[in-house]
Structure 1
Amino acid sequence: MATGEARAGMLLVASPALLDPNFVDTVILVLDADADGALGVVLNRPSPVPVAEVLADWGPVVAEPDVLFQGGPVSTEGALAVAHRVEPGEEPLGFRSVTSTLGLVDLDTPVELLAGHLDALRIFAGYAGWGAGQLDDEIAEGSWYVVPAHDSDVFREETTGLRRDVMRRQPGELAWHSTRPIDPDLN
């Protein structure tokens, strides 16, 4: 039961039908989606690794918890940073917009050049990626719910209840899925 098409700025919420251990119970922010495929980051899998241990300059500016998040199973040795811009408008150096307020930060940019332009930042090790048509097929088979994102979803300090809370705020019957067990027959 998809509610919309996957596009940049939307959330993919894993349905109970999705059994791939990389994505069970995940909430993914879509960063890019077109005919060639899609890319996003898992929002609710913090790691125990402090950002300051890996990217010392960025440690003081990341949102709490100040740890790396497991963004997905692809390129886990690399990092993507998602930030919230203080004011929409001209993009600061090292920032690429995803929505009017969210964007990707080039981690090679000196922190000082972006500090006054951002009010939240989260760093993800790896990402989730889909080839051409793959995500559309997964949505059609019922593996993902596609729902609108709130900027606060990306920088939420407590992430264990994110999936439930995102589903709970959806309209109509979709909200019922916030409490659905993995196997309803066991209920």
Structure 2
Amino acid sequence: MADELAGKLLVATPGMLDPNFRRTVVLVLRHDDDGALGVVLNRPVAVPTGEALPAWHDAVTPPATLFQGGPVGLDGALGVATLVPGASSEAVDPLVGPFGLVDLDADPADALSGVTGVRVFVGYAGWSGGQLEAEVAAGDWYVLDARPGDLTTPEPGLLWRRVLRRQGGALAIVSTFPEDPSLN
């Protein structure tokens, strides 16, 4: 199963009650026998990118805020980019599909060659070997194809619904599931 989930989206099912992941959309950046690593795409925080990384404020895709990538490693930042097919930059390490990791110590002018969008994440989501597979098997996550625009959507708060809706069928119906079903 190594790398099977890399480049995929994990979309929390309505039954996911863990507050770290409720209604989240996670882009899996790495997945192997040792575990998985991803970033939550739809949790912007009210901290402008420029407060933490002044040089990157104008280089990130709007909204120019930091995003909470997950509950692990909150003392560090990850830059994730969407890349033009075949593009290369010394400041961006290609990961999977159109996604790459940005060297946030690099000059943004040098790093943006071949890049169509950048987001900066504080923290990440991490799973030990077999943990994510068990969560998927338990029905905590929908595993769906990612699109390059998912990383840099201008309306991250709507991403959970939009990703589900574009699947059609039963998942499109799930996209209408209320935040609090007891209020229906």
TM-score (norm 2): 0.92
CA contact (8 A) 2:87 2:114 kept: no
Q: Which amino acid aligns with 2:48?
A: P
> 1:53-79 CA distances to partner (integer Å, 9 max, x unpaired)?
110111110000000000000001100
Task: Specify whether residues 17 and 91 from structure 1 end up closer, same or farther in structure 2 by C-alpha distance, changes over 3 A only.
Answer: same
Structure 1 position 92, deviation (Å): 1.1
Q: Select 1:49's aligned residue among 38, 47, 50.
A: 47
The equivalent residue for 1:59 is: 57
Q: Distance in 1 between matches of 2:158 and 2:127?
A: 26
1:134 pairs, out of 131, 152, 160, with 131
Q: Which amino acid aligns with 2:30?
A: D
Aligned to 2:14: 16
- Name the Cα RMSD after superposition: 1.8
**Cα pair distance change 1:25/1:162, threshold 3 Å:** same
- Residue by residue, what CA displacement relative to the aligned partner does 1:101-145 show, whole Å, maximum 9, x if unpaired? 221111122222223322211000000000000000001111100
Task: Mark the CA change 1:185 to 1:69 in structure 2 (over 3 Å): closer, same or farther.
Answer: closer
Letter of the 2:145 partner, please give it: P
Identity, in percent, stands at 50
- Aligned equivalents of 1:176, 1:6: Cα separation in 2: 27
Any unmatched runs of 5+ in structure 2? none
Q: CA deviation at 1:158?
A: 1.1
**For residue 72 of structure 2, what is the aligned residue in structure 1?**
74
Q: Deviations over 1:23-53 (max 9, x none)?
A: 1110101101111100000011100101111
Q: What are structure 1's unaligned runs of at least 5 residues?
A: none
Does the CA-based 8 Å contact 2:160-2:175 persist in structure 1?
Answer: yes
| SS of match in other structure, 1:116 | coil
- Between the two proteins, the alignment pairs up a number of residues equal to 182
Deviations for 1:76-111, whole angstroms, at most 9, x for unmatched residues?
1100111112x3225310211123322111112222
Q: Take 1:157 and 1:13, find their aligned partners in 2: how far apart are those partners?
A: 18
Partners of 1:6 and 1:30 within 8 A in 2 = no
| Aligned pairs for 1:147-162 within 5 A | 147-162=144-159
Say if 1:74 and 1:139 are closer, same or farther in 2 by CA, change over 3 A: same
Q: Distance in 1 between matches of 2:179 and 2:113?
A: 44
TM-score (normalizing by structure 1): 0.90
Q: Assess, with a 3 A threshold, how the Cα gap between structure 1 residues 100 and 6 changes in structure 2: closer, same or farther.
A: closer
